[in-house]
Chains A and B, each alone.
Chain A
Amino acid sequence: MKNIENGFIDYFNIDELLTEEHLLIRKSVRDWVNINVLPDIDKYNHEHESPVHLIKKLGDIGALGPFISEKYGAPGMDYISYGLIMQELERGDTAIRSTASVQSSLVMYPIQAFGSETQKQKFLPKLAKGEIVGAFGLTEPNHGSDPGSMETKFVDKGDHYLLNGAKMWITNSPIADIAIVWAKNEEGVVKGLIVEKGLEGFTAPETKNKWSLRASITGELVFDNVKVPKENLLPNVKGLKGPMMCLNSARYGIAWGALGAAADCLQTAVKYSMERKQFNVPIASFQLTQKKIAEMLTELTSAQLMAWRLGKLMNDNKATPSQISMAKRNNVFMALKIARESRQILGAMGISGDYPIMRHMMNLESVITYEGTHDIHLLITGFDVTGIPAFK
């Protein structure tokens, strides 16, 4: 018998494909989550508040920019390590993983990949330690899936850039010290700007009343004639390729994060099904319950294999954006299905905050939308194999 109730679910012995160091990383982050996240994450979700004190602690354990160079105060790890960290954080709550994803892939990554040496020295060490918080502004009120039509723009005023426009649905924007903002220049070319908090005309109001990611802060970025210093332009990238490369890194992390949320739901359901008795027997005795469990385990296992293989390709710098799209889409949908099926196994208890399932399920509704919606990723795969774009 293979026990999947406790520990790490590893039905296909994928652990054998990981190094001793990877296993230690996974265990350490799990221990950290058990101590720092699980005890009061339900309360934060109920109160629609974010455990912001954890950002500094995420920096302390090295979960912010794990793959960023040691030269800038980050751990300098490989992409499998990054994936495992995301998996364990999301087992705690998607909100914690989202903060780590945004800071790592959407803020630190573009600074390391496209920034000047001065920008790297100035921002990366503080971001790695969680001393400052970063946000990523791509989505706008009128442009979500189609960021290429963005309206936010800046003009060259000689000694500074003048930025105007608005971004919406931005993770951590109200508490961010810096935002990587994607905007068009006079020629209509997308460029990245590092916009620092406190500039005149720059506000970041919070978007409340969410039924998903309630422990994560979301808000807007509003620019009303903001004077951005010229040295804050990311010099080494132009066009949509910039934000898309950031999203590749973040989506990869999400493909792993989903495994954590899914495993937490599945383990909760398996444990419950062995203990809960109806008609005088554990509900795990019924074929219909076993069918659910067996199918969930199969889905989780294939998603784990996909994540692992993609990690290897990422490490070799060979992962294509379409492969990343496929894994993000597949794994998030897998997690959402597992959350829904697991919840049913718990019956009424499934909707209770005493168990994590409903919380994961609500969170995953954001994950299936952000970083490219479920349908958009499908179209990316379709485009990749037919050569015909079906976006418009």
Chain B
Amino acid sequence: MKALICIGHVPDTTSKIRFTDNDTKFDTTDIQYIIGPYEELGLTRLLDIKDAGTDLHITAINVGLKETEATLRKALAMGADEAVRIDIDPTDAFFVAKQIAEVFKNGEYDFIVTGKESIDYNGGQVDGMIAEFLNIPSVTGATKFDLLEGKAGFEREIDGGKEVVESVFPFVTSAGKDFAKEPRIPGMRGIMAARRKKLEVITPVEQNLKTEVSKHYLPAAKPACKMVSPDNVEELVRLLHEEAKII
């Protein structure tokens, strides 16, 4: 069985976010990159399934420029069998989905795993769009994933409960939290083994962009916290009324 796992290359969650070029671009100075946490859970679950004895070949895929190779190498060090990088800046979700759908078509894969959403732009669209391009089922935000006889089993969290879903192959699923217990940390042997694994760079297919970023905004800075002594209720009421204007 062959799986394609989409690996996002995203800023570390502790990064300080800044913009450049009139706030149209993300400022990448001093930013450290990581595998998207949901994709990391997706890959970890696939590795767990493989370790439990299932014959599973795992290909990590990323749409991105040369600098994303470090992230793909980490996927290989974690245990993915090979990696593919589609050599272009991943401008919008539609564009990215198209690229991945093409690779899927040409590679005899059985299914695709993505993350529920990337933690940079939080689009959450690529998985659904891939499914549309390929006309195959899509199970979004799965919290549990198993390979069964001739099909795959999923669980999804829904309002007030849980949904149990099964799908035939091929399909796309996006990994939500709990897809795997905790992400794997690459071991030193894995890092050395990654040296010998194939990382193929392929050229993108043509696709017009559907969207364009006009501006970024940072969330408004949190106002400073004011301490009011517990026996000064009058002052508290005055502040809530005159400054916070909520009463």
Task: Give A residues with C-beta under 8 Å from B.
Answer: 3, 6-7, 20-21, 23-25, 28, 31-32, 35, 60-63, 66, 70, 75-77, 81, 85
Contact = CB atoms under 8 A, between A and B. Distances in A.
A31 B185 contact: yes
Q: Which of B14, B32, B190, B192 has the most CB of A within 10 A?
A: B192
A127 to B, nearest CB: 14
A242 to B, nearest CB: 27
Interface in B1-27: 12, 14, 16
A62 B189 contact: yes
B191 A3 contact: no
A63 B16 contact: no
Contacts of A63: 188
A68 to B, nearest CB: 11
B69 A25 contact: no
B14 A24 contact: no
B188 A61 contact: yes
Given A23-B70, A24-B73, A81 B14 contact: no
Q: Tell me the interface secondary structure of chain A in the complex.
A: helix
B75 to A, nearest CB: 11
A85 B30 CA distance: 23
B121 to A, nearest CB: 22
Residue from B73, B185, B186 having most chain A Cβ neighbours under 10 A: B185
B41 interface: no
Contacts of A20: 69-70, 73
A55 B178 CA distance: 28
Interface of B: 12, 14, 16, 30, 32, 69-70, 73-74, 77, 182, 185-192, 195
Contacts of B14: 6-7
Contacts of B185: 28, 31-32, 35, 61
A66 B192 CA distance: 10
A137 B122 CA distance: 56
A6 B32 CA distance: 11
A72 B42 CA distance: 32
A22 to B, nearest CB: 10
Given A3-B16, A31-B185, A25 B191 contact: yes
- Identify which of B74, B188, B191 gathers the most chain A CB atoms within 10 Å of its CB: B188
Contacts of A35: 182, 185
B30 to A, nearest CB: 8
Nearest to A63: B188
Contacts of A31: 185
A76 B189 CA distance: 8
Contacts of A6: 14
Contacts of B32: 7
B16 A24 contact: no
A77 B73 CA distance: 16
B74 A60 contact: no
9 contacts: A3-B30, A24-B70, A24-B74, A24-B191, A28-B187, A32-B185, A60-B187, A61-B185, A62-B191
B135 to A, nearest CB: 38
Given A3-B16, A35-B185, 10 more contacts: A7-B12, A21-B73, A21-B191, A24-B77, A28-B185, A28-B187, A35-B182, A60-B187, A70-B189, A70-B192
A6 B15 CA distance: 9
B37 to A, nearest CB: 12
A352 to B, nearest CB: 24
A6 B30 CA distance: 12
Given A23-B70, A24-B77, A32-B185, A75 B191 contact: yes
B192 A76 contact: yes
B17 to A, nearest CB: 13
A77 B188 contact: yes
Contacts of B77: 24, 28
Nearest to B69: A20
A28 B187 CA distance: 7
A85 B188 contact: yes
Contacts of B195: 21
Contacts of A66: 188
A81 B188 contact: yes
Contacts of A70: 189, 192
Nearest to A70: B192
A130 B62 CA distance: 36
A6 B14 CA distance: 8
B69 A62 contact: no
Contact of A28 (B69, B70, B186): B186
B16 A75 contact: no
A149 B247 CA distance: 84
Nearest to A75: B188
A392 to B, nearest CB: 43
A149 B191 CA distance: 44
B182 to A, nearest CB: 8
A24 B186 CA distance: 8
B48 to A, nearest CB: 15
A25 B188 contact: yes
A77 B194 CA distance: 13
A76 B196 CA distance: 14
A7 B190 CA distance: 23
